[in-house]
Amino acid sequence: MVSPRPLLRRAWRGLWSALPAEWLPLRLRLGGLGRRLLGSPATGGADPDDPRAYAAWVARCDTLTDADRAAIARHIRAMPRRPLISVVMPAHDTPEPLLRAAIASVRAQLWPRWELCVADDASPGPQVARVLAEAAAADPRIRWVRRESNGHIAAATNSALALARGDYVALMDHDDLLPEHALYRVAAEIEAHPDCALIYSDEDKLDAAGRRFGPYFKPDFDPDLLLGQNLVSHLGVFRRDLIAAIGGLREGLEGSQDHDLALRAAAAAGPRRIRHIPAILYHWRQAGGRRSFSEAQLARCVAAGRRATADALAAQGVAARLEPAPLAPAWTRVVRPLPDPAPLVSVIVPTRDRAALLAACAEGVLQRTDYPALEFLVVDNGSEEPETLALFDRLRQDARVRIIAAPGPFNYSALNNQAAAEARGEILLLLNNDVEVIEPGWLREMASQAMRPGVGAVGARLLYADGRLQHGGVVLGAGGVANHYRLLAEREDAGHAGSLALVREVAAVTGACLALRAAVYQEVGGLDAAHLAVAFNDVDLCLRIRQAGYRILWTPFAELYHLESASRGSDLRPDQARRFAAEIATMERRWGAALTRDPFYNPNFSLEDAQGRLAETPRMPPPWAPWLESPISVARPARPPRRGPMAAPASPAAAVPSPRR
């Protein structure tokens, strides 16, 4: 019997999203009620951090059938190259059942071209040497060495690495498990991308009873996220010649030696040679025996990780300050310096009347922002109210303020383009009139990120007035064209695996608070005033910036309020609905398949929304799919809704330009 819950959830979402945006308090109350009754009115799928929901997903989507195994065998036989993969394992005083289970998981691999290289790091008990000797006698692909003295994890891994003969090396801990298709997925990735130098996969954890929980569904490679946390492990696979070229693992960084290796390997390989396999290929044991080094000595591991990050930044010539990330103190915030002198920032604020909103926005930027060089450009789209005109007169008394007249129909893209042409700043900061400053350092953070070479645009962490999340980055294809990540998350929510706690790369950010260099804005032609007057112009801008070779960053360390409902009108009027439909069509025509494959939103997540919920079926078929005798189905993203949470303002009275902006 089909559960009615998905149908009820869709109906509830329709009710929730059809309410006018100015009814935000009612929408929030309905959202809470829907989450309690149906999982969420604005979300679909299951929470990956819910053990029961994750177990159901594993049974449905991550358990091989005999047909899968047969298809994998057919694929392997057809491969023209079969690289040898060396699994490298340090072992020290491992409980015998756990060591035997780890070895058995390697021997059970469907990929036949592997070797297991183990270094016994002078274990005090005899069980490690005995188990390794028995394993090597039973399978010639297993080789091991016993170290004369205990050298800790890095030294032991290097000893095991010295035994390796494969072109690629997979790092594995002595008590963890590999699923049977792990090395096959690695080999298939090498087949598809022969030049790859570093491969990493998604991962989960094992409890004392061997139950899987706590998955980490990762984004594609993100060098900023790697600075803050160890994105690569587990499963991390490296070209052996790359490890040799960078000198192997560094001793003295125990607990973060893999993070340090990943940082140095990624810098040496370059992002184009780094591949992410969006599949759970590693089970990290969290209980059931001796605690791992990282569990037992967390403070030492955190310190080692910060040293690894500091050394990686120093190698790039970056003199940054490192701090604990407030929402996830075990991970690292990188505080980057501003150039000296600080670049001039042109803050561009389109508006039409709504004097109280603009006054609060201006007061926050001009009086409560700790930034030494800014100008405040108010783009007046035909204000008429006496209160607004009086406010303009007061604002003009500040030499940093200019009022730019821009009468005519509301066209957010045209308003910003006009102001950008008149701006004097090296950095442009697109800002909505209903954004309010929370803390003084927000603009320093955004400017320091925007001035980095290779960074094209930077978005901020925006909160509703009640403290819940309004903008955590934009996910392509979610609910249609795009939507905001983790909308309505609680303020203290660190997100899936710290995704709301650290600077990270995203496909797009909202134009409600968006910083970029003026040169980048000019290079890509600014906002599209001809085809995207109101909706999706910020998403389109970000996609063109990415197309030009720049990266888009979201930072949680620039935090502001966005009183979205205060400056949004209803988009239910027929003329506005037609405009919105045309803008959807423009995005689909211009970007096509890019809207269904956001590289920073794991394909195991549902595109029904942008909440990071598990998809009913992964959106990326496995590499053995073409070899199945009966084709498998793959989830397809939903068609863009004609009205939904990403709907745009309908009236030029609202200076807020685009969906969820």
For the chain, domains (ranges, CATH) are 1-42 (no CATH), 79-290 (3.90.550.10), 345-582 (3.90.550.60)
Indicate whether 37 pLDDT > 60.
Answer: no
Indicate whether 212 pLDDT > 70.
Answer: yes
Indicate whether 22 pLDDT > 80.
Answer: no
* Mean pLDDT rounded to a whole number for the chain: 89
Burial of 306 (0-12, 13-18, 19+ CB in 10 A): middle
Half-sphere exposure of 538 (CA within 13 A, CB side): 35
Half-sphere exposure of 401 (CA within 13 A, CB side): 20
What's the pLDDT at 564? 73
In this structure, what DSSP letter does residue 516 have?
Answer: E
Considering only the C-alpha atoms of the chain, give the largest distance between any 2 of them, rounded to a whole number of Å: 90
For residue 274, list its beta bridge partners. Answer: 198
In this structure, what DSSP letter does residue 608 have?
Answer: S
Binning pLDDT at 50, 70 and 90, where does residue 221 land?
Answer: very high
| Integer Cα distance of 475 and 477 in angstroms | 6
**In this structure, are residues 562 and 21 in contact, taking their beta carbons and an 8 Å threshold?**
no
| Integer Cα distance of 410 and 649 in angstroms | 10
Binning pLDDT at 50, 70 and 90, where does residue 649 land?
Answer: very low
What's the pLDDT at 295? 52
Beta strand segments in 455-564, E: 455-463, 469-471, 474-476, 482-484, 504-506, 513-517, 551-562
What's the pLDDT at 189? 98
Structure tokens at 425: 């700043």
Distance set, CA 180 to CA 75, 100, 103, 165, 222 (Å):
15, 15, 12, 22, 28
Condensed to tens digits (0 to 9), the pLDDT of residues 539-563 reads 999 999 999 999 999 999 999 999 9
pLDDT, average across residues 615-636: 82
CA 267 to chain centre: 19
For helices 5-18 and 24-38, angle between their N-to-C axes, nearest 10 degrees: 170
| Integer Cα distance of 628 and 71 in angstroms | 5
Binning pLDDT at 50, 70 and 90, where does residue 526 land?
Answer: very high
Q: According to DSSP H, which parts of 24-81 are helical?
A: 24-38, 51-61, 66-78
Binning pLDDT at 50, 70 and 90, where does residue 342 land?
Answer: very high
Binning pLDDT at 50, 70 and 90, where does residue 25 land?
Answer: very low
Instruction: Single out the residue of 556, 539, 436, 544 nearest to residue 486, CA to CA.
Output: 556
Indicate whether 652 pLDDT > 50.
Answer: no
Instruction: Single out the residue of 402, 357, 395, 400 nearest to residue 378, CA to CA.
Output: 402
Distance set, CA 625 to CA 112, 554, 597, 622 (Å):
20, 35, 19, 6
Residues in the chain: 661
Tokens 């595109």: give the residue: 607
Indicate whether 170 pLDDT > 70.
Answer: yes
Binning pLDDT at 50, 70 and 90, where does residue 641 land?
Answer: very low
Indicate whether 660 pLDDT > 80.
Answer: no
Indicate the pTM of the whole model.
0.89
pLDDT, average across residues 127-136: 98
Binning pLDDT at 50, 70 and 90, where does residue 11 land?
Answer: low
Condensed to tens digits (0 to 9), the pLDDT of residues 447-494 reads 999 999 999 999 999 999 999 999 999 999 999 999 999 999 999 999
**Which long-range contacts link 79-83 to residues 24+ away (Cβ below 8 Å)?**
79/187, 79/191, 81/190, 81/191, 81/194, 82/112, 82/113, 82/187, 83/113, 83/166, 83/167, 83/168, 83/187, 83/190
pLDDT, average across residues 20-25: 40
**Which long-range contacts link 627-632 to residues 24+ away (Cβ below 8 Å)?**
627/71, 627/72, 627/74, 627/75, 627/78, 628/67, 628/68, 628/71, 629/67, 629/70, 629/71, 630/67
What's the pLDDT at 3? 41
Give the rounded percent of residues in the chain with a pLDDT score beyond 70: 86
Task: Classify strands 482-484 and 513-517 as parallel, antiparallel or unpaired.
Answer: unpaired
pLDDT, average across residues 624-635: 76
Distance set, CA 231 to CA 263, 338, 604 (Å):
10, 27, 17
Condensed to tens digits (0 to 9), the pLDDT of residues 277-335 reads 999 999 999 965 455 555 557 889 999 999 999 999 999 999 999 999 999 999 999 99
